[in-house]
A and B are shown apart, each in its own frame.
Chain A
Amino acid sequence: MLIYSLRRLLEAIPVLLGVTVLTFLILHLAPGDPAQLIGGPTATAQEIANIRQRLHLDQPLYAQYGTFLWDLVHGDLGQSVQRRESVLSMLAVRLPNTAVLAVTSMLVTLIGIPLGVMAATRPNSLLDLALMNVSLLGVSIPNFWLGILLIIWFSVGLGWFPVAGYHHPFLSLEGLKSLVLPAITLGTGGLALVARLTRSGMLEVLGQDYIRTARAKGLPERGVLFRHALRNTMIPVITVLGLNFGALLGGAVVTESVFAINGVGRLAVDSILARDYAVVQGSVVLIATTFVLVNLLVDLSYALLNPTIRYA
């Protein structure tokens, strides 16, 4: 398993390299010029030329990419052209905010598992119907709309939660209160998806012979459901959860914007709009690395769920 993990990590290097090349090319091929955006509509040609020179944007593309790569292997993600700030420090400020949002919304998403089980154990009952319709609603509601509604109802109307922003430290009453609405906004879609996935998986597994055998042996129903049925349903659910978590760690730009959370997603989008190449590159490297690592963990977890899966 250790050798497998190491091999997967080594394989990640060309993947990440490919990601940087692609990002670099896409960014430079896309229309728009950072110097033009810094100068704004009022800038003269001379002003723009001076800004380009100051930011070394007048150098050939391969030289710019070479500098980026050289810095990267030295653990430096470069400097924001727009803000003249180290990309690493910009990410360091935002990553904890995004991670906390990802973890809390993941907790909301996990509620989908017991809901799915409940629905599966009483198929076509009123409860099943209600849960599945609510989850359909959950998948369909756009994030930004849900976020704004929650703010209007619970923050402006009832005054239970702050409107926006995090309250530090997180582990305090105010801190936890500031996490509730963003976590619900971001987690609801995943919750609904996981509930539906768990339900369909459980329904399939509950019809299997080994479940009948377990019941025939006289095992308590709880043991049958959670030890035998749910465990066998979990592989697709864990895969979806893993992908979801990876994406959440890459930032959730809509939720971050609505709740004014200073996260990685917003940074990446703002930087794309400002053509701040170094920051986009840095964010993409971070997001890709997280994704690769989370996927590796998901793959390794398969072996824990299903002992017939072995990694050599």
Chain B
Amino acid sequence: MTRFARLLAVLLVALIGASAGAATFTYAAQADAVGLSPILTNDSVSAVAERHIYENLVKRDPTTNQLVPWLATSWETPDATTWIFHLRQGVKFSDGTPFNAEAVKFTFERIMDPKVGAPRASLLTPIQSIDVVDDATVKITTKAPYGAFLAALAHPNAEIVSPTAVKKYGDLMKNPVGTGPYMLKDWVSGDHITMVRNPGYWGQEPSIDTFVIRVVPDANTQVALLERGDVQLIDTVPPELVSRLQQNKDIQVVIKPGTPVFYLGFNYKKPLWQNKTAREAVASAVNIDVISRLLQPVANKDCSIIGPQVFGYVEGVESNCTPYDPANAKKLWSGLSGARPVTLWVPQIGDYPRVGQMIQGQLSQAGIPTTIKTVEWGAYLSATQKYEQDLYLLGWTNQTADGSELLYPNLDSANIGAANRSAYDNPAADKLIEASRATTDQQQRLDLLNQANTLLLEDVAWVTLYDGVAMIAHRTNVSGIDLLPTGDWSIANATMQ
């Protein structure tokens, strides 16, 4: 009998232990992941799953936001175009394939291969060649010095994939295999993704066993699920629902200043906007104070192009912004030859429509007759790349948190026809931006980026409206969630009671 009781006790302890350890963390996402190949996807939900399945050579420290070694333990740069990375030993992909220099070479060459059609291939375009020195060492040569190289390697699209898995499955959209703390268990398309702990993970074993991404498109429903405790985290809270969540003692809303920048752009293909006085008139008419107040708490007031959370920002640069002065705007616009009613293009997504309405009101008040043209997101991306717009609203999330990777795509003339949706063409700015990319001396880069930022602000290249925030709302029984200014978050170090 005693033996039986002891056995029962052991079984009970085992059962309780098992149920206590079997923590399932559920995140409600607004959309389904497009796929689970970091090489082929560029959407935020895919990135959440991929961040837990794959890893980069370097990553950003969640507290300091500095780049720190990860799958690469150290690196050296014998000259400005050579990077030698020493790789972590004893790491395996979840399919058993060893992580080594071959895997790094394979991943990066695949991203760069035009036939693969990787959406962020341009991150690695500066690479000339990748050589395997030995299993634990890889040498990367760039065509010219590439200042933002480490930031690019920390980008979600540069996560390292298992070469064996790619050869086996063709791509990893449905069969992700990485070195990260989690691996895919099942995926019901459009419904949910379940990930479980990777038993062979080289690092500290995550405390949460199961990570579920559940597709819940409606923001109100997401909030209700979080309030009921059916999900543990949401990361797309409409501003008007934030205070409701903040009042709930079981929910913690974490808001950090973020890297995204939102701006009012000019289409320089239209002669009117080539005139700096016209741009100044618009900039003087826009009251960014009111806009960031309207969007509280998801916006931080900022007039600088490179914001405080992005490398290249230097305090005090704001003195170069055009100050809000509607009287001056009126004066400038009335004295402008070629002044005409303007059309503000607004994408029908997120907070843009209400920001658009505010700007329309402000411009009209300053004597700049403005009509709004609201366009569906897909059509907007195409139209703005063909320069059909006049004035327009857009943002840049800046996953690399590096100023070069903001200015080069958006405002360098080399990217007219692509991400430079204003067709802004300023040789002096080009020179500074390209120089910031072409040196690996970080202090020099900071100076160059600050000069570029100053020049662009003086020239009113665009009107920065506000900076986005990194925000998550989670149940208070979860702690230790890492949140970066880019909005990226991870539960690898989180615990759940």
Contact = CB atoms under 8 A, between A and B. Distances in A.
Interface of A: 30-33, 36-48, 50-55, 82-85, 89-90, 93-94, 144, 148, 151-152, 155-156, 159, 162-165, 257-260, 262, 266-267, 270, 273-275
A266 B190 contact: yes
A267 B224 contact: no
Given A41-B394, A44-B415, A267-B190, 17 more contacts: A32-B381, A36-B385, A40-B381, A44-B418, A45-B418, A52-B117, A53-B115, A54-B116, A83-B189, A84-B35, A85-B189, A90-B189, A155-B228, A164-B224, A164-B230, A258-B221, A262-B215
Given A90-B190, A148-B220, A262-B190, A46 B378 contact: no
3 tightest CB-CB pairs across the interface, nearest first?
Answer: A32-B378, A54-B117, A31-B379
A47 B381 contact: no
B250 to A, nearest CB: 12
Interface stretch (B119-127, B315-323, B329-337): B119-127
Task: Determine which residue in A41, A52, A144, A267 has the highest number of CB atoms from chain B within 10 A of its CB, and name it.
Answer: A41
Contact of A39 (B32, B42, B191, B218): B42
Contacts of B382: 31-33, 36
B51 interface: no
Interface in B217-235: 217-218, 220-221, 224-225, 227-228, 230
Contacts of A90: 189-190
Dominant SS at the A interface? helix
Contacts of A37: 377-378, 381
B188 interface: yes
A124 B150 CA distance: 78
A42 B217 CA distance: 24
Interface of B: 28, 31-32, 34-35, 40, 42-43, 114-122, 171, 173-174, 188-191, 214-218, 220-221, 224-225, 227-228, 230, 376-379, 381-383, 385, 394, 396, 409, 415, 417-419, 421
A149 B383 CA distance: 38
Contact of B118 (A40, A47, A260): A47
Contacts of A148: 218, 220-221
B320 to A, nearest CB: 25
Nearest to A30: B379
Contact of B218 (A84, A93, A258): A258
Nearest to B388: A31
Contact of B224 (A52, A93, A94, A156): A156
Nearest to B421: A41
Contacts of A94: 190
A176 to B, nearest CB: 18
Contacts of B119: 38-40, 42-43, 47, 51
Contacts of B419: 41-44
A45 B418 CA distance: 5
Task: Determine which residue in A45, A82, A152, A164 has the highest number of CB atoms from chain B within 10 A of its CB, and name it.
Answer: A164
Contacts of B190: 90, 93-94, 262, 266-267
A151 B117 CA distance: 43
Contact of B174 (A82, A85, A151): A85
A266 to B, nearest CB: 7
B378 A50 contact: no
A33 B31 CA distance: 19
